Structure 1
Amino acid sequence: MAVQQETEWFSTWFDSPYYHILYKDRDMQEARHFIHNLLVHLHPKPHEKILDLACGKGRHSLYLSQQGFEVTGIDLSRQSINYARQFANERLHFDVHDMRHVYRQEEFDFILNLFTSFGYFETDTENIVALCATAESLKHGGKLVIDFMNTDKVIDHLVAHEEKEVQGINFKITRGVENGFIIKTIDFEDAGEHYHFEERVRALRQEDFLEYFKMTQLRLVETFGDYDLNPYNQATSDRMVFVLKK
């Protein structure tokens, strides 16, 4: 019997224990290096509030909190937030929340949406709604950082087929581009059951984001191309890191 996901792939895959097994070895050192560079560049004050938007299991929220800031992490995955709440304290909070809805009106000085945690929705309208809702949570003069893959480079270097064994589970992974999405399918068996999941991320390019930003209260002030905050180059950069101001 095959176990299938629901229509919105992220609502089941991110809550699956297999998601956390497959990605358990993500590079925390690289992530902290990036966040450190952002903090040096943005220079938030100790009393200012930071929202970690799509925070997952809260590891980056915890790191931000350890740097002395008041941090809230939100994510759609209830399982991830339940895990993250073990780190909670007076200056670190976690909530289950869908970014398509306003979280708290004009509450935050900085909002960070990092590591390609955007573009999961099926339509441009939903992506714009999510951006507008995020802007509503920023104070006037606050800044939003969106870190997204450099889509052209990712597509050019896409690995079509891969097998990866983690904790005794053999994950069979395929990647491709279809109807404006970069799609990763994940198939595996465990305890006699066959599982199939799919990740779908919009193949958004710089010009797509620029059109989105026009629909919001946000003004683009800087674009970087990697975690060292070097200038963005469409052909060679690994990332698109947008800094926007309300």
Structure 2
Amino acid sequence: MLPDAAEWFSTWFDSPYYHRLYQNRNYAEAREFLSRLLAHLHPKPAAHLLDLACGKGRHSRYLSEQGFDVTGVDLSARSIAAARQFAHAQLHFHVHDMRDPLPYGPFDFVLNLFTSFGYFEHEAENVVALRNAAAALRPGGKLVIDFLNTELAIETLVPYEAKTVDDTEFQLHRHFHNDFIVKEIRFRDEAGQEQYFEERVRALSRERFEEYFRMAGLRLAEVLGDYQLGSFDPATSPRMIFVLKK
């Protein structure tokens, strides 16, 4: 599926300013989470893993370093181009839209991490993406979806933030609109021109996710609530981490 020009992620994720804004993300925390998750899931040494929406492949590389055969896919051609410099016989990267069937696999585990879901304008596309992920799994394989705890995220939304990174001042406005958590991103580029991008994540409740899972033929095994893999508490957990079985 070719991305529509109006789809925010088809332009923002390929912008160098996206990577500038988020360059200071806590990757040490992310690696600790991945290490805990692997210990929790117990993949066999020869397991094949899919990093669905892998970005520049930083987490795919870590998974590969643990000895697994890893495939990373992402819609962003620039991100995949950056990731491919690290590719080797057990680490592969491809440009791919999760709304299209996966020509790679089958996989023992599919990992969709760090809120890389719920971007699409039409809700049915979320179910299509899940069905494609399920189809790429071996029988008995597992899918992990790491999403924000939507209810808590809306309650604690910070409406405005100014953030300066490498001489670029980003003006960030957040609000809830038409079933989406929206972040408006405004800044001036090196030429002094005003730039505007958006991030939009559908405010999916646990109940709505469970409806998606039923439609995709996936069984919910457990829900974790944080990157320490604590149990999910709707009132306090920052994340909803779904572990699903085919």
Looking at structure 2, the residues matched to 133 and 52 of structure 1 have their Cα atoms a distance apart, in angstroms, of: 14
Partner residue, 1:139: 138
Structure 2 SS opposite 1:229:
coil
Equivalent residue, structure 2, for 1:230 = 230
Deviation at 1:16, TM superposition (A): 0.4
CA distance in 2, matches of 1:106, 1:98: 15
How far apart are the structure 2 equivalents of 1:8 and 1:180?
16
**Counterpart-to-counterpart distance in 2, 1:125 and 1:118:** 13
AA partner of residue 192 (structure 2): G
Task: Summarize the alignment of residues 12-23 of structure 1 with structure 2, pairs less than 5 Å apart.
Answer: 12-23=11-22
List per-residue Cα deviations over 1:197-222 (Å, max 9, x = no partner): 00010001101101101101211011
Does residue 197 of structure 2 align to residue 205 of structure 1?
no
Partner of 1:244: 244
Per-residue CA distance 1:2-26 (angstroms, 9 max, x = gap): xxx9310000000000000000011
Structure 2 CA distance for aligned equivalents of residues 213 and 105 of structure 1? 22
Contact 1:106 1:136 in 2 (8 A): no
In structure 2, list runs of 5 or more residues that go unmatched. none
Give the secondary-structure state (helix, strand or coil) at the position aligned to 1:101.
coil
Residues 21, 106 of structure 1: CA spacing in aligned structure 2 closer, same or farther, 3 A cutoff? closer
| Native 8 Å contact 1:151 1:204 kept in 2 | yes
Give how far 1:192 is off. Answer: 2.0
Whether 2:6 is the aligned partner of 1:7: answer yes
Alpha-carbon RMSD across the aligned residues, in angstroms, is: 1.1
Q: Deviations over 1:110-142 (max 9, x none)?
A: 000000000000122000001001111101110
How far residue 189 of structure 1 moved from its aligned partner, in angstroms, is 0.5
Letter of the 2:46 counterpart: H
Q: Deviations over 1:78-118 (max 9, x none)?
A: 00000001110110000000001111365100000000000
Provide the rounded CA distance (Å) in 2 between the counterparts of 1:151 and 1:24: 24
Amino acid at match of 1:99: M
In structure 2, distance between residues paired with 1:112 and 1:163: 32
TM-score under structure 2 normalisation? 0.96
Q: Give the Å deviation of 1:194.
A: 1.0
The percent identity for this pair of structures is 60
The SS at the match of 2:71 is strand
Moved over 6 A (4+): none
Q: How far apart, CA to CA, are the structure 2 residues paired with 1:221 and 1:42? A: 11
Following the alignment from structure 1 to structure 2, what is the Cα–Cα distance between the partners of residues 220 and 146?
A: 11
1:151 paired residue number: 150
Q: For structure 1, which runs of at least 5 residues remain unmatched after alignment?
A: none
Is the 1:49–1:110 contact (alpha carbons within 8 Å) kept by the matching residues of 2? yes
Change (3 A) 1:215 1:73: same
2:217 equivalent to 1:193: no
TM-score (normalizing by structure 1): 0.96
Deviations 1:27-46 (A, max 9, x none): 00110111011100111111
- d(CA) in 2 for partners of 1:95, 1:119: 21
Q: Is the 8 A contact 1:183 1:201 kept in 2?
A: yes
User: Which amino acid in the other structure matches residue 125 of structure 1?
Assistant: A
Q: Which secondary structure state, in structure 1, belongs to the residue aligned with residue 233 of structure 2?
A: coil
Secondary structure of 2:31's aligned partner: helix
Alignment-mate amino acid for residue 45 of structure 1: K
1:84 aligns with 2:105: no
Instruction: Pick closer, same or farther for the CA change 1:209–1:114 going to 2, 3 Å.
Output: same
CA–CA distance in structure 2, aligned partners of residues 99 and 215 of structure 1 = 16
